[in-house]
Structure 1
């Protein structure tokens, strides 16, 4: 073990400290990705469970708004997102929202969000589906089918408000935006609004076939799991690299430690003339 005494020199102690710090950081990064993997797996499980469950009343999944007109209710609890719910009311086409630059099947178009006004005067935003733009480009306003009049029963999935809200504009009597940010949209509406919106699954009377249902994509949780393995492998390789370098240094030192030769002790050799 004497050949490993060099590990106690300042240089090698510094290398050890850097190695341990790097490996620790990589382990923490792996743990962080593991948490993200678990979180995304739970989201995927809720999506799958929502597809199988019978719809429940809206108020079982979302708290009713308690503020005045132009306000939004509380956001849904995490375990209520993607719950399948049913609710009955009347669509308000005068406050329809066109959500532009939305992609379905690699095509850019609009999602049509319409407030469903309930009997108590509150409303919930319903994403009725995707529709292609009119001829003339991806931003050309679509030709919309007539909104059902009278009482409508909706079955849909609870979708939390989108982040990164942009401007909300009213053009030709219709609201336009790029994000379905419920609190921001609520400011433009004459009634209190629930704190999440619904992705339409079914509707009575039936939805117009011009609409394409907005697909619900699963999160890529396996990508995060791959990052977990990657960071933990890097941590192991860092520690292995330190051990390999120390072993190589020890072998080099052992192979370059010649013993002094005592010339006087060597037997004399005679030379003949």
Structure 2
């Protein structure tokens, strides 16, 4: 009944269905891997606020040279809570424009923290609003930054990709992304290969800096895509099975079963007489 499946035509259909299903399964596995990675990032964000901070050197190693940042940490170290002490370099404040907090556009203020070994780590102090009536390039009023020794506690953040140009205007560096290599090229000392997003500081940071909310990953989107691809793979195989079953049953024949109104009727007998 199913010998037709061994014909070249149906073997081709089967191969096509199997290849398509295999590709969809692989795509589903890839999306599930992305889900696991993003789920791990969200977990690290959740625990960073209560985790015991570790010294910066244990996560972001020293190294590099003037103009070239040190080695960056691995992706799994992002959001690790660290602590480090030093002095802010107020001569090289960085304004990162076009940053949004609570649906308001403003600037993130990044300042190099000079360390005892002569290097520096970039510290994202927080967000300030865009000046009223000002444009994207209108510099904001930067709240006071301590000039003495400070101890910073915060989360390690990796250098942002797609780094844009760094300009200097009115004594401050301006950029669109916190690209450690781009900013390191503008500073006169070695810079660590990641930056720190400030959580707490001793002495306390100025109240004019707004805390930057964590950027959670949309892991459920990847989970939905993975399930979708796996369902498509199953549907492909089911569709092949349905087509094969229909082929095996052959073309549908007309229903030859007599209907009630098709039953031959006896010749009508004229009234008042017998049939001839």
TM over 0.5: yes
TM-score (norm 2): 0.88
- Whichever structure has more helix as a proportion of its residues is 1
Query: What residue number does 1:233 align with?
Result: 231
TM-score (norm 1): 0.89
Q: Contact between 2:93 and 2:172, CA under 8 Å: does it hold in 1?
A: yes
Instruction: After superposition, give the CA deviation of every residue in 1:141-189 in whole Å (9 maximum; x if it has no partner).
Output: 1111222111111111000111101101011111000010101100100
Q: Contact between 2:159 and 2:193, CA under 8 Å: does it hold in 1?
A: yes
Equivalent residues in 2 for 1:93-132 (5 A)? Answer: 93-132=90-129
Cα offset, 1:107, TM superposition: 1.0
Equivalent residues in 2 for 1:172-187 (5 A)? Answer: 172-187=170-185
Show structure 1 runs of 5+ residues with no match.
257-273
Work out the CA distance in 1 between the residues paired with 2:75 and 2:126.
24
Q: Contact between 1:155 and 1:202, CA under 8 Å: does it hold in 2?
A: yes
Cα offset, 1:106, TM superposition: 1.0
Work out the CA distance in 2 between the residues paired with 1:243 and 1:11.
15
Distance 1:254 1:146, change over 3 A: closer
User: What is the Cα-based RMSD across aligned positions, in Å?
Assistant: 1.6
Work out the CA distance in 2 between the residues paired with 1:88 and 1:82.
18
Work out the CA distance in 2 between the residues paired with 1:235 and 1:42.
27
* Runs of at least 4 residues off by over 3 Å: 253-256
Work out the CA distance in 2 between the residues paired with 1:242 and 1:122.
64
2:143 aligned with 1:148, yes or no?
no
Work out the CA distance in 1 between the residues paired with 2:135 and 2:125.
19
Secondary structure at 1:128's aligned position in 2? strand
Secondary structure at 1:219's aligned position in 2? coil
Secondary structure at 1:101's aligned position in 2? strand
Work out the CA distance in 2 between the residues paired with 1:23 and 1:80.
36
Q: How many pairs are equivalent? A: 254
Work out the CA distance in 2 between the residues paired with 1:38 and 1:237.
25
Equivalent residues in 2 for 1:182-201 (5 A)? Answer: 182-201=180-199
Query: What residue number does 2:14 align with?
Result: 16
2:169 aligned with 1:171, yes or no?
yes
Query: What residue number does 2:43 align with?
Result: 45
Work out the CA distance in 1 between the residues paired with 2:92 and 2:107.
16
Cα offset, 1:217, TM superposition: 2.0
2:82 aligned with 1:81, yes or no?
no
Work out the CA distance in 2 between the residues paired with 1:17 and 1:138.
59
Work out the CA distance in 2 between the residues paired with 1:43 and 1:68.
30
